[in-house]
Amino acid sequence: MKFLKLFSLTIISMLILGGCIPAKPAPSGKGAGPSMMYQASYGYKMPMKYPLKVGIMTARDSRPYKFFDEKDEFYKEPIPNGFSKMMYQEFKNSGLFKETVFIDEKLPKVLDAKALKFLALEHNVDMILVSDLIDFNLLRKKEGKDMMIYTYNLIFSVKTFTQLIHLNSGTVVWADVVNRESKILTDGSMSRGQLSELTAPGLKGLFSDMRQLISTAGLEMK
């Protein structure tokens, strides 16, 4: 009986290594995974849209399910925090605002005139950019089989509802839902390097879309 169990485990291990049974991506443990941070866009500056100071606030986690297989512990940073810090870096480098700062706080539940004025005084900012993270997830889709090896598309999906708010007037200067996907073809497993390779293009595309939308569709506030 012990021999049969050992033989079965050996066969399963060989199949996984051979790609016949996909090895699911496994979380690295809290704080032990790769960083979500990547080299934000430098060099190209957009025309300044707002000669004002904007605060990038920590995104609210509004996802219906976690990153992969009900787990979130794939990155060094908690996902909403890592996402928000990358958004800060991208907008700091964009040139759209006169000054950009990071506010390590979530938007208050009640967003009335009193709350907006408090944020303006507390953080010395004219505007805030806040996001609800609707989707930041990993999907795995079987593509086919080649020489007994199954191939899978690992698909990263990110979607956010983001608002740019002028604090003193309470004006929503710009608001929209923005989403992007990026994917890589694998045997179903995923290394740390592949995780960064998968998510960075989707995030860069999302922030690029956001910058362009704010530049072209946002109200003028001076």
Q: What is the pLDDT of residues 163-184, one digit of tens each?
A: 999 999 999 999 999 999 999 8
Confidence band, pLDDT 50/70/90 cuts, at residue 56: very high
What is the Cα 183 distance to its own chain's centre? 14
pLDDT of residue 45: 85
- Say whether pLDDT at 13 is over 70: no
Could you read off the pLDDT of 129-163 as tens digits, one per residue? 999 999 999 988 877 666 667 788 889 999 999 99
Q: Is the pLDDT confidence value at 1 over 90?
A: no
pLDDT tens column, 67-96 = 988 889 899 999 999 999 999 999 999 999
Q: What is the pTM of this model?
A: 0.83
- 122, pLDDT greater than 80: yes
Q: Which residue has the higher pLDDT, 161 or 34?
A: 161
Percent of the chain past pLDDT 90, that is, above it, reads 57
DSSP bridge pairs for 102? 56
